[in-house]
Chain A
Amino acid sequence: MRRNRMSEASETANGPALSPVHRPKAGPGDRTFLTRREWAAAAGTAILGACGKPSAIEPPLVSIVRAPGYDGRIYQTVRDLLARQQLQVRGRSVLLKPNLVEFEPQSAINTNPLLVHAVYEGFLALGAASVRIAEGPGHRRNTFDLADAAGYFGIVPRFEDVFVDLNLDDVRQVRHPHQVSGLRKWYLPKTALGADLLVSIPKMKTHHWVGVTLSAKNLFGVVPGGVYGWPKNPLHWAGIDECIADLHGLFPRQFAIVDGIVGMEGNGPIQGSAKQVGVLVAGRNPLAVDATCCRIMGVDPLKIRYLLLSAGQESPLMERNIRQCGESIASVATPFQLIPEFQRIRLEKRV
């Protein structure tokens, strides 16, 4: 089994060949096929994830809506989007999980705070008993400073009262009955485990180890640095793709809204270039949302290994098995630049 041992780091001062542990021996993204054993484990994950999810009975609904910029119009756009998805959150606790990575407010690294605030207001308007925002960045320990630099304090009123640093939250041990990774047990934040609905709000980005980072990969930020470190390196040793699949199974009550207004292409998720797409993609099935985002980005979701592991089979990722509403994929498709190591995931034919 190939294992990526690092996320955003691969070289030391003495050159790229110095430390094999810091660079995957096989190239990133060089295997998307699954072994028989992996299929079995992934199928178990899919079955577990489907339990108690009414959406598993019928094809998942994925909304694609145009959102040309980060301005006041986004509030109405998000309200309309949530209404179309018919979410029942009255009296429920909702946890919003944006993607906060680095102190570069002018770049396209972090989920835009205006979108997160619009989602926050949207869920309150739907009658949610509580809405909180939470994140556990993978590299930087001073999460509040990071959120401040990303503009959250300026946009979200009383941000400090509604925000939870998942890296430092109290944890509970949980086990995945059909684990795909080598991690037999997980320590996860009680705030995330206790939420009635976990809303993943990632940025639409390429990722130099796994191809793309969308709502499923965004769950890495739920894993607490207080137990796993900065970066959360035990997950890299246990397999990034496999850990994403496990996390997907451990959080069965999810909703996803991908910030594709401005994404990141090339050497993402940190050092890539901003990419204007002008869309939000949302739905109750994060894998269907991610598969749709892939097609918008010009990436074949069936070549993203963690999506295959999480889904357990190809069919939930296939376009014909997803109910698309709003804009068509073709009308918003904006191919993202891919680094040479990931040219092979380029979408050739939509299925």
Chain B
Amino acid sequence: MPIALLKQKQNPDGGWPYIRGSSWTEPTAYAVLALLSAGETEAAGSGLRWLRAAQRSDGSFPPQPGVDHGAWVTALAALVPAERLGLPAHARSIEWLLGNSGTESTLAYRVREWLLSTSVGDFENAGWPWAPDAAAWVGPTSMAILALKKEHSRRPSAATGARVDSATRFLWARVCRGGGWNYGSVAVYGRDLPPYPETTGMALAALRGDRSPKLGQTLDLATRFLAECRGADPLNWLRLGLIAHGRLPKGYCPPARIEPRTIMEASLDLLVTNASSAEGLLGS
């Protein structure tokens, strides 16, 4: 069913909209990954051409072609197998990711904070922002970790490994008190913020292979979320996060009445349902 939906929703330019309308990078990257995993090479092929055309000269990808800045969606494009996206295009996207981080961890900002004597923060663990000129957050950092881990398994490098390690520390520094992740912080004015199911699943997927002592509590929480959630997006991410740690309950099936509303939801459902596809997304 998701395959038919993806084919039906594909725009004439080869890309996909979020729901309807013009093509965007995020749904296109997810749809391409899903269709490739299902062996639908023709539809995926025109999506790949759309992605290549959307790439900016600095290697990044904009959220939508009319937007004149690169963004977090570069990580999604970098998750597409290098040989499919094209080796030079893929290498440039990885290079851009390695050079990008939240503004708070840039040298210029750190110098400024030092000069103002307000340098009291966590500058060392660099994550990724959603958009330029902003701080790093759990969602885009998780996606960038996934992309870099996949790249590291294909073509190991010290730079990639170091960046993954730093970003992993970034995520653990932001885990909520009872486990799981909010979108990026743990408290406001001393009051704890609740973890979100979707962000928790995303971060768990990124932390595949991690052995932090905090992991068990978060996996338990994710399992509880999985039993309670009724939304396609959080269920997709929770499943992926639990698969990453071998903790998806055996024989688990999402509630029957849940239908995907967006291209991302349909694509991720396709990717997660097939264990080998999930493996492709998570890296080996």
Contacts and interface: CB of A to CB of B under 8 A. Distances in A.
20 contacts: A6-B135, A8-B185, A11-B185, A12-B186, A16-B190, A19-B121, A20-B104, A20-B120, A140-B196, A142-B234, A168-B24, A173-B66, A229-B129, A229-B130, A231-B183, A233-B135, A238-B133, A267-B191, A271-B188, A271-B191
Contact of B174 (A12, A187, A227, A238): A12
A13 B217 CA distance: 15
Contact of A9 (B66, B173, B185, B230): B185
Interface in B82-138: 102-104, 109, 113, 116, 118-122, 129-135, 137
A220 interface: no
Contact of A25 (B68, B118, B186, B230): B118
A125 interface: no
Contact of B198 (A6, A9, A142): A142
A226 B63 CA distance: 7
Interface size class of B (residues with CB under 8 A): 35 or more
A14 interface: yes
Contact of B185 (A22, A165, A170, A236): A22
A13 B175 contact: yes
Interface residues of A, number: 48
A172 B22 CA distance: 11
A9 B194 CA distance: 11
Contact of B173 (A5, A13, A234): A13
A229 B137 contact: yes
Interface in B253-284: 261-262
A233 B137 contact: yes
Nearest to A227: B63
A14 B185 CA distance: 10
Contacts of A18: 120-122, 173
A208 B67 contact: no
Interface centre among A18, A142, A145, A339 (most CB of B within 10 A): A142
A50 to B, nearest CB: 30
Interface string B62-82: 011011100110000000000
B66 A226 contact: no
A19 B119 CA distance: 9
Interface string B160-193: 0000000000001111110000111111111101
Residue from A9, A171, A187, A231 whose CB has the most chain B CB atoms within 10 Å: A9
